[in-house]
Amino acid sequence: MFSPFPPPRLSLQDSDIQKKIDHEIRMRDGACKLLAACSQRDQALEAAKSLQTCSTRIMAYMSELQRMKEAQVMQNVPRRSSDASPMDDRLPCKGKVAISDLRIPLMWKDTEYFKNKGELHRCAVFCLLQLGGEIFDTDMVIVDRTLTDICFDNTIVFPGFELRVELYSCCSEDDYSAGSTPRKLASKLSSSLGRSAGKKLRAAMEPGACSPVIRVSLLACFSLIVSGPKYHLLAHTTLWLSHVQDSFRTHDLTISGNEECSYWLPLYGSMCCRLAAQPHCMTRQMMAGWLKDLECCK
């Protein structure tokens, strides 16, 4: 079918995002192989954390790339003069956002915290912070009933605003057997799919054999069957410009899961942090020129 609009060209910014996607796919491949080779609990938890972070970054970059391509297409659509608005040229001032002193209080039962009774429940947790296509992760923290708060000492600076904070948890007491690399998993699947389909599947897993979008889809399917520790979304919240304050502030969390989940932790349902914002107009030169001194005549 003929289209009156030319296909969007791959801009330099698009190319940069594509390179980021390719890099994260390679990092994810490495994390899968590392997870398969891990024999120690802490190593497996860190590898699983890297796997979760890479997967989230890939999806964020792909969403950003899709938005950019849609914007390029819309730029080619002719606009009527009646569609123009005097507010079109008035863009908001962007800035930097910094979050620090991130703490999430816990609500253990009296018998667990004070009397030290019951089965010791231990989880590995970390936070992913997303602003647009930028994804940052905190350090991993091992949590049990001896802690009253989950504390992350990282200070993270973002170049924009609508900040989503996600808390991931994984039961650290599970028995982690060695997993399989994506190529081995493809071989196992190919035996049940048949010789012809199996060859296509193994070929698709080779570097450069298919497009990043298809390869990401295959990796997403494999992530469901890679053995080893898996992190689950435990709670999340979204912070806006109205949440910026000069002091430590508490924000509500939306909690996922329940007490039946192995990764469950007794959260109060709130998160404390310091959130600061600095507009670019405070640090960058917004306008430059000459001033004329006009004498006032009475």
Give tens-digit pLDDT for 162-171. Answer: 788 889 898 8
CA–CA dist 238, 67 (Å, integer): 20
Closest residue by Cα to residue 216 from 31, 26, 67 = 26
For the beta carbon of residue 107, count every other beta carbon within 10 angstroms.
Answer: 11
Residue 224: the pLDDT is: 47
Residue 234: the pLDDT is: 92
Same domain, 101 and 240: yes
In a domain, 168, yes or no: yes
Same domain, 63 and 109: no
Same domain, 237 and 109: yes
CA angle 171, 173, 177 (to 5 degrees): 100
Same domain, 162 and 262: yes
Which structure tokens are listed for 147? 């802690």
Closest residue by Cα to residue 260 from 157, 146, 139, 121 = 121
Domain count, the chain: 2
Closest residue by Cα to residue 171 from 259, 252, 110 = 259
Give the DSSP H/E element, type plus range, for residue 14: helix 12-37
Is 10 in a helix, a strand, or coil? coil
Residue 87: the pLDDT is: 45
Same domain, 68 and 107: no
In a domain, 184, yes or no: no
In a domain, 139, yes or no: yes
In a domain, 89, yes or no: no
In a domain, 182, yes or no: no
In a domain, 218, yes or no: no
**CB of 264 within 8 A of CB of 271?**
no
CA distances (Å), origin 127, targets 1, 5, 22, 59, 160 = 47, 43, 24, 17, 19
In a domain, 211, yes or no: no
Phi, psi of 80 (to 5 degrees): -80, 150
Residue 181: the pLDDT is: 46
In a domain, 48, yes or no: yes
Which structure tokens are listed for 297? 């005549």
241: phi > 0 → left, psi -120 to 50 → alpha, else beta; which? Answer: alpha
Same domain, 238 and 108: yes
Same domain, 166 and 109: yes
CA angle 239, 58, 171 (to 5 degrees): 70
Which structure tokens are listed for 163? 């900040």
Global model pTM greater than 0.85? no
Residue 125: the pLDDT is: 94
Q: What per-residue string of b and e applies to 124-158 under the rule 16 or more CB within 10 Å gives b?
A: bbbbbbbbbbbbbbbebbebebeeeebbbeeebeb
Model pLDDT for residues 58-93, shown as the tens digit of each residue:
988 888 888 888 877 777 666 555 554 444 455 566
**CB of 76 within 8 A of CB of 262?**
no
Q: For residue 64, what is the domain's CATH number?
A: 1.10.287
Same domain, 129 and 256: yes
Q: Kindly give the parts of the chain with pLDDT less than 50.
A: 1-8, 84-88, 177-185, 188-194, 197-198, 200-201, 205, 207, 222, 224
Same domain, 102 and 61: no
Q: For residue 239, what is the domain's CATH number?
A: 2.60.40.150
**CB of 193 within 8 A of CB of 201?**
yes
Residue 33 CA neighbour count, 13 Å, CB half: 7
Which structure tokens are listed for 161? 């605003």
Same domain, 166 and 35: no
Same domain, 235 and 162: yes
Closest residue by Cα to residue 147 from 113, 96, 185 = 113
Same domain, 166 and 233: yes
Domain of residue 139 covers 95-177+228-280
CA–CA dist 47, 29 (Å, integer): 11
